Structure 1
Amino acid sequence: MDTLAQLRAGQLSGITRLDLACGLTEFPREIFDLADTLEVLNLSGNALTRLPDDLHRLRRLRVLFCSDNRFTELPACLGQCAALTMVGFKANRIATVPGAALPPLLRWLILTDNHISELPTELGERPHLQKLMLAGNRLQRLPDSLRQCHRLELIRIAANRLTELPEWLLTLPSLAWLAYAGNPLETEADAAALESVESIPWSALRLEQQLGEGASGVIHRATRERSGQPATQVAVKLYKGEMTSDGSPLHEMNACITAGLHPNLIRIEGRIVGHPQARAGLVMELIDPVYRNLAGLPSLESCSRDVYASDTRFSAGVALRIASGIASAAEHLHRQGITHGDLYGHNILWDEQGGSLLGDFGAASFHATADTVESRALQRIEVRAFGILLGELLVRIESGLSDEGRGRLGDLQRRCCEPQVLARPGFDEIVRELKSW
């Protein structure tokens, strides 16, 4: 983290990224001294209510984060920033989004956890728009102009006030990751499924080392004690109870429970009751440490694409086993009326033999289990996410795949990413094809 003192002393000259979180109430004019080099500006965690009208003087500025401030309106000056592609104003008090505030090259917009009830028509006039994060607002509808955004791949509209999904949303050719839980339109989770899982007293758990932390909660290794039985090692996820970019953590917990058992999903042992701070939580099986993340999160540059380690390579057998396992898990979820919403390599754990586990249900949503045009379209949107994953595996296969086999997999990958949403195969067909190898 940089300091205001460093900035004012001229010690940051020539930097391309500036991070300032020091209780700012006004935009430091000294930032303009960096205009020739500054590309990423992070002013999150301050008390700002406005930005200067001449912000466009930062002519190289590509990324702006102003989350956790006190803005009530998305600043109109952003629209004059010619190079700006990513804008993040999560957890402010924004109620108004002027069309003039949207920069012409906008690619990634984060307005999670605000007070927005309406979006401008101009949002659909940004042809580069690829990621749109709107969870935790007051939206009752989306602007029809978004039907023009043929590059839009990810949209988060969970925890709003939408009573239906517009038909055009389900036909967008590039859409692969959609989260809409917590809206009136969503099919309710099966109450019987939620009640069927065991209630585990907090007093029966002893937390040990932290294993990981995500947007929705913290995971610890723990010991579970039961009367008359040996103690067992488990994983405990305690939810933060805060709105994330995907949606509500409690919706994630409901989806994890409703998903049920599948060999490529992490087994839920029960939900926690009696926490002293009334925090929600799940007790899960403890995963063997030989499993590791398949990929890293998307970067500012890759936007909607995972980042793989440069040495990530697979044999054909391992890649096919990973693909088959994840396709089978997705097929199982769809049968339960759940779309995962975040089917990505960074949410997959794998081992050297190709064992795979699909995790992180933060973007999961419920849909009707009946075969309707809407449920079929929602499932085929997720098929495109799988097609992208399959392509990422395919380019990293280094042995054991003939030219004919590569052609067959390439054909399946292309069909999964077919622009016509309903022309894509369902996961039942994908599973059958992958099993035929």
Structure 2
Amino acid sequence: MHTLEQLRSGALAGTRWLDLSAGLTELPNEVFALADTLEVLNLSGNRLTSLPHDLSRLHHLKIVFCSDNPFTELPEVLGDCPALQVVGFKACDIHRVSGAALPPALRWLILTDNAIEHLPDALGERPLMQKLMLAGNRLSALPEGLAHAGRLELLRLSANRFEQLPAWLTALPRLSWLALSGNPLGWTVPAPTPLPTVPWADLQIGEALGEGASGRISRVTLAGHGQGLALKLFKGAVTSDGLPEHELAGSLVAGQHRALCTPVAELSAHPQGTPGLLLPLIPPGHVHLAGPPSMASCTRDVYAEGWRIGAAQALRLARTVAGAVAHLHLQGVMHGDLYAHNILWDPQSGDAMLSDFGAATLLPTDRPAQRLALLALEVRAFGCLLEELVAHAQRVADEAPAWVVLEELARACLQTDPALRPTLDDAVLALERVAA
């Protein structure tokens, strides 16, 4: 985090990234001295309600974050910034979004946890739009113009007021990651699998294992049992994917599968009433297959520099993940976040597990055509994963046939007409034939 003193003294001259959180009520004029270099401006956690009318003087500006500020509308000056690609206004108090506020080069718009009821048709007139995060608003419809968003790949609509979905939504050619939970869609959805409950008092809390947007995970020991478990305590706040209770519901319906990190018990009697799940510990040696998307990659995961994978490993990984997702689809769950960064694998054994149900959607059991159309979106996400594995192939001559199969399956899953894509069951069969 930078300070006002650094900015005013000139110590930040030439910087490309500026972080300012100092109770600001207006943008300091000294920021414009950085106009020739500044690309990322983070003003989150201030008291801003507007941005200066001449913000476009920051002519290299690509990314703006203004989350946790009391804005009531998305500032129209953003639309005057020709290089601006990423706009983040999470957890403000935005009620109004004008088409004029959308910059022409917009790729990624974050408006999570606001009070937005309507969006402009101009949202579909931004040809580079790839990622749109709208969870936790008051939307009951999407603008018809968004039907022309041919590059849109990730869409978060959880915790809104949708009673129905537009017919064009599942026909978007590149949509791959969709979250819908927490809307009054009127679907009949699968019932959760009952789990045993474990009282808080029976747990011994150990080391912290990690923290995500929806909760904190710790190692725990259950009284009378030697085997360790992981405890996820939910935070209760709106995340970019939706609400924690929707993640809980998706996890319970998912059921058990060797390649899914699903709960074995529910927490009960927490002193503050905090909901929680008990999960198996990830086996030693497992690491994340990739890192999450960067600002530059937008919708695609970031792999370690120089990372390569052999054909046998890639086939095993693809079969394992395809089997896990096919299981979810059979249970009536769309994972919504099928990404390499949510896959934990052991590079030595090739074992893998799919985790993170934060974007999971329970699908209708009474609308089979709509259910299939929604699942076809996740097939494209699997195609993206296959495409990434192929891009990182460690080529060996006698393994060429295996890579051909993976390439062909990736192309099938990535077809722009969702109705022509295979199912995940089809993908499992295709991959098992190679193994045979």
Interval of TM-score (by shorter of Structure 1 and Structure 2) = over 0.9
The answer to whether structure 1 residue 233 and structure 2 residue 236 are counterparts is no
1:420 aligns to what? 417
Residue identity opposite 2:371 in structure 1:
S
Alignment partner, residue 318 of structure 1:
313
Structure 1 residues 186 and 365: CA distance shift in structure 2, 3 A: farther
Q: Secondary structure at the match of 1:41?
A: strand
- CA separation in 1, counterparts of 2:218 and 2:402? 42
Q: Is the 8 A contact 2:252 2:262 kept in 1?
A: no
Residue 333 (structure 1) aligned with residue 331 (structure 2): no
Q: Count how many residue pairs are aligned between Structure 1 and Structure 2.
A: 432
**Residues in 1 aligned to 2:189 and 2:200: alpha-carbon distance in whole angstroms:** 25
Aligned to 1:364: 360
Amino acid across the alignment from 1:217: G
Alignment of 1:23 with 2:23, yes or no, is yes
1:309 counterpart = 2:293 = no
Residue aligning to 1:217:
215
* Corresponding residue number in structure 2 for 1:105: 105
Distance 2:429 2:183 in 1: 34
Q: Against the structure 1 CA distance between its residues 288 and 395, is the aligned structure 2 distance closer, same or farther, given a 3 Å change threshold? A: same
Q: For the Cα contact (< 8 Å) 1:186–1:366, is it kept in 2?
A: no
Matching residue of 1:143: 143
Q: How does 1:256-405 map to 2 (within 5 A)?
A: 256-352=251-347, 353-369=349-365, 372-399=368-395, 402-405=399-402
Deviation string 1:51-91 (CA, Å, 9 cap, x unpaired) is 00100000000000000110000001000001001000000
Partner of 2:404: 407
Distance in 2 (alpha carbons) for counterparts of 1:304 and 1:201: 40
Distance 2:414 2:270 in 1: 44
Q: Say if 1:20 and 1:44, in contact at 8 Å, map to a contact too.
A: yes
Shift of 1:373: 2.0
Q: Give CA-to-partner distance per residue, 1:90-112, whole Å, 9 cap, x none.
A: 00000000110000000000000
User: Quick one: which amino acid aligns to residue 117 of structure 2?
Assistant: S
Q: Percent identity?
A: 52
What is the identity, as a one-letter code, of the residue corresponding to 1:221?
R
Partner of 1:204: 202
For residue 188 of structure 1, report the CA deviation from its aligned partner.
5.5
Shift of 1:408: 2.2
Give the stretch that moved more between structures: 400-409 or 102-111: 400-409
Query: In the alignment, residue 417 of structure 2 is paired with which amino acid?
Result: Q
SS of equivalent residue, structure 1 residue 184: coil
* Counterpart residue type for residue 404 of structure 2: G
Q: Secondary structure at the match of 1:268?
A: coil
Q: Which amino acid aligns with 1:96?
A: R
- Which amino acid in 2 is paired with 1:236? L
- SS state of the match for residue 83, structure 1? coil
Deviations 1:96-139 (A, max 9, x none): 00110000000000000000000011111111100000000000
Give TM-score, length-normalised by structure 1. 0.97
Verify the 8 A CA contact 2:413 2:421 in the aligned structure 1. Answer: yes
Displacement of 1:371 in angstroms is 6.8
CA 240–108 in structure 1, closer or farther in 2 if over 3 Å, else same: same
How far did residue 278 of structure 1 move?
1.1
Separation of aligned partners in 1, 2:117 and 2:11: 43
TM value normalised by structure 2: 0.97
Q: Residues 143 and 267 of structure 1: is their aligned pair in 2 closer, same or farther, counting only changes over 3 Å?
A: closer
1:120-159 aligned within 5 A:
120-159=120-159
Change (3 A) 1:8 1:200: same
RMSD: 1.2
Gaps of 5+ in 1: none
SS across alignment from 1:208: strand
Question: What amino acid maps onto 2:243 in structure 1?
Answer: S
Residues 189 and 254, structure 1, Cα contact 8 Å, conserved in 2: no
Report deviation, 1:192.
Answer: 5.0
Unaligned runs of 5+ in 2: none
2: CA distance between counterparts of 1:421 and 1:308? 27
Q: Which moved more, 1:153-162 or 1:19-28?
A: 19-28
SS of the equivalent of 1:132 reads strand
- Structure 1 residue 374: Cα displacement: 1.1
